[in-house]
């Protein structure tokens, strides 16, 4: 994530329609009183959410340091129970969110603006798309852009093909598309829509609990609302630490490729510590402008690396693989969306589909805040189409170019990328680059990309954690920013030492599970508010028509 949310978003005051005013349009604002989002006041108010969140995080860190083996045992047992018993919930909820968004986009509700009816988008379509792309161009593209397709090629999902065959190649891309496509962005889009509507149209604080006001009323200001916000903080924290851990593993492997630096815990802890110091300084000193420019440069570098691989790689093979895999993904879409573990494959689902969906869930609040921040004035329809389609196309294309190239190297060039990936999944991207010219240069670019996505994403995550524990303030205290930066880095280090990638994956699945319920409830609450608001608009229109009719009769008499 390359965008920093340090500038307070403008809050709209929503006026109560009067009989003497023109009738509201079908998407007019609904009277809700005065905005509650007082950022200056919220800056000094920490309260129970902050105390509970920091306490839970500190207890988790202490648990990991003092009782590492017990932490692993508990998370493993919890993982097996959750995924074996409720893993289907990830599939059902994410598919339901996607169906809900498609319905909204094609319904009359799609014309409603995320703000006042007179508001228009702050950014042009091109700039808006670029910012969405900068949000998705994260560590995952390097961590899994080769690793997932080549892993599926060597071990086809659900035994749907024979390993190493053309069928396995197509299945590998198909399931990579599934894990990184529409389902992920359905989670982000629902969050972004709900937050944008609540903040820009209703004038509420930027807190997850406030999204439940249509369902819970004033109870969102009490213990129930605080519990929701603590869950949001907890899920966001572990989504961040998972990315930090993956980033450290990638940087370590890249440095090993270039300079022979050993791949071990010491190097990874030092990398996390260094990056934590950088993104924490960025969050509190204002050097985020520099980070912003570097992040924009990283997007350009990613584009250059993409074009390079497309040119020097097997371009015709990639194009054909893209079309065939896309067709199979579309044909099998609903089967994949609901394919669970009734007949086994639990471990495979834990490593891939369940982990990916849990990771998206844990990033929901963070990405939702970002999307809401840049989308004021857009219609619901335009928001949904842009957020679902653009990132999905980017991911599909990136995975096909890099993953497809790795598959081609192994199938036709006698490569050993799949073998190296099986030994260390974090070596996949660099193992692919070694098969092409200028490997040292492209590996250095890949390390730069990971570091910049690493820093800018953690920087923005730290801000969101501080905001959510400061009453929704858009200008949280520097001390709170520093605290969350340090806690994020320490938590990532603890998990890395506790069990590396396996510990990161297990923990994000376990900690995101309660938040999956929050997302489902959020969608219901958002729908209820849309319906109520449009009913209020129609009542106001009828009242105005009645008053106009009475006035006409009096004038005629």
* Domains delineated in the chain: 40-537 (1.20.1740)
pLDDT score recorded for residue 35: 40
Q: Is the pLDDT of residue 27 over 60?
A: no
- H-helix segments, 363-425: 364-374, 380-412, 417-423
Instruction: Give the mean model confidence (pLDDT) for residues 48-64.
Output: 89
Is there a contact between 377 and 115 (Cβ–Cβ < 8 Å)? Answer: yes
CA triple 405-133-124, angle to 5 deg? 140
Taking the mean position of all CA atoms in its chain, how far away is CA 9?
Answer: 20
pLDDT score recorded for residue 248: 87
Q: Is the pLDDT of residue 156 over 70?
A: yes
Is there a contact between 488 and 226 (Cβ–Cβ < 8 Å)? Answer: no
Residue that wins the pLDDT comparison between 498 and 163: 163
Query: Cα–Cα distance between 324 and 348 in angstroms, integer?
Result: 24
Task: Transcribe 231-285 into DSSP letters.
Answer: HHHHHHHHHHHHHHHHHHHHHHHHHHHHH----SHHHHHHHHHHHHHHHHHHHHH
Residues 185-239: pLDDT tens digits? 999 999 999 999 999 999 898 899 999 999 999 999 999 999 999 989 988 888 8
- φ and ψ at 490, to 5 degrees? -65, -45
pLDDT score recorded for residue 535: 87
pLDDT score recorded for residue 22: 34
pTM for the predicted model, two decimal places: 0.85
Q: Is the pLDDT of residue 4 over 60?
A: no
Residue that wins the pLDDT comparison between 127 and 24: 127
pLDDT score recorded for residue 40: 40
Q: pLDDT above 90 covers what percent of the chain?
A: 44
CA distance readout (Å), 5 to 114, 244, 444: 18, 20, 29
Residues 458-473: pLDDT tens digits? 777 888 888 899 988 8
pLDDT score recorded for residue 410: 96
Residues 248-288: pLDDT tens digits? 888 999 899 888 899 888 999 999 999 888 888 877 765 55
pLDDT score recorded for residue 42: 43
Region at 114 (left for phi over 0; alpha for psi -120 to 50; beta for the rest)? beta
pLDDT score recorded for residue 452: 81
Is there a contact between 120 and 387 (Cβ–Cβ < 8 Å)? Answer: no
Least-confidence region, from 257-261, 264-268, 532-536, 546-550: 546-550
pLDDT-based confidence at 243, cuts 50/70/90? confident
Q: Which two tokens stand for residue 84?
A: 């074996």
Quick one: 296 exposed, middle or buried, by C-beta within 10 A (0-12, 13-18, 19+)?
middle
Is there a contact between 195 and 114 (Cβ–Cβ < 8 Å)? Answer: no
Most confident of 51-60, 132-141, 163-172, 547-556: 163-172
């Amino acid at each position: 994530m390359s965008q920093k949310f340090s500038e307070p978003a403008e809050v709209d005051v929503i006026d109560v329609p009067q009989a003497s005013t023109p009738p509201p349009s079908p998407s007019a604002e609904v009277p809700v009183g005065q905005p509650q989002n007082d950022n200056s006041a919220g800056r000094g108010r920490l309260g129970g959410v902050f105390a509970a969140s920091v306490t839970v995080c500190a207890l988790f860190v202490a648990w990991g340091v003092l009782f590492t083996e017990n932490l692993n045992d508990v998370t493993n047992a919890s993982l097996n129970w959750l995924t074996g018993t409720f893993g289907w919930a990830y599939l059902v909820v994410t598919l339901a969110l996607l169906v809900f968004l498609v319905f909204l986009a094609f319904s009359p509700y799609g014309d409603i603006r995320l703000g006042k009816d007179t508001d228009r988008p702050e950014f042009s379509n091109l700039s808006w798309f670029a910012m969405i792309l900068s949000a998705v161009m994260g560590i995952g593209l390097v961590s899994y852009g080769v690793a997932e397709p080549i892993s599926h090629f060597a071990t086809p999902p659900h035994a749907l093909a024979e390993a190493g065959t053309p069928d396995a190649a197509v299945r590998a891309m198909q399931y990579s598309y599934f894990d990184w496509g529409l389902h992920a962005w359905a989670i982000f889009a629902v969050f972004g829509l709900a937050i944008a509507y609540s903040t820009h149209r209703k004038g509420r604080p930027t807190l997850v609990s406030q999204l439940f006001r249509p369902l819970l009323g004033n109870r969102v200001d009490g213990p129930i609302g605080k519990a929701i916000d603590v869950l949001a903080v907890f899920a966001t924290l572990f989504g961040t630490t998972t990315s930090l851990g993956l980033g450290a593993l990638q940087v370590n492997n890249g440095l090993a490729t270039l300079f022979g630096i050993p791949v071990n815990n010491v190097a990874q802890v030092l990398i996390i510590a260094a990056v934590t110091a950088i993104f924490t300084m960025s969050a509190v000193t204002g050097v985020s402008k520099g980070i912003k420019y570097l992040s924009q440069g990283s997007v350009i570098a990613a584009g250059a690396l993409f074009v390079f691989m497309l040119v020097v790689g097997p371009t015709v093979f990639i194009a054909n693989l893209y079309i065939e895999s896309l067709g199979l993904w579309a044909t099998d879409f609903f089967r994949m969306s609901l394919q669970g573990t009734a007949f086994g494959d639990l471990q495979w689902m834990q490593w891939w589909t369940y982990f990916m969906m849990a990771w998206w869930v844990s990033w929901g609040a963070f990405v939702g805040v970002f999307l809401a921040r840049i989308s004021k004035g857009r219609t619901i329809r335009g928001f949904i189409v842009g957020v679902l389609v653009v990132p999905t196309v980017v991911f599909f294309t990136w995975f096909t170019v890099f993953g497809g190239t790795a598959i081609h190297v192994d199938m036709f060039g006698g490569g050993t990328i799949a073998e190296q990936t099986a030994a260390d999944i974090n070596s996949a991207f660099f193992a692919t680059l070694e098969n092409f010219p200028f490997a040292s240069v492209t590996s250095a670019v890949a390390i730069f990309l990971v570091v910049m996505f690493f820093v800018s994403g953690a920087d923005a995550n730290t801000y969101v954690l501080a905001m959510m524990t400061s009453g929704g303030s858009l200008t949280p205290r520097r001390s709170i920013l520093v605290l969350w930066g340090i806690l994020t880095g320490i938590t990532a280090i603890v998990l890395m030492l506790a069990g590396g990638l396996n510990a990161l994956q297990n923990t994000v699945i376990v900690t995101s599970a309660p938040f999956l319920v929050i997302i489902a409830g959020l969608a219901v609450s958002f729908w209820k508010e849309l319906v109520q608001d449009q009913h209020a608009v129609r009542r106001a229109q009828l009242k105005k028509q009645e008053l106009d009719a009475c006035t006409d009769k009096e004038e005629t008499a």
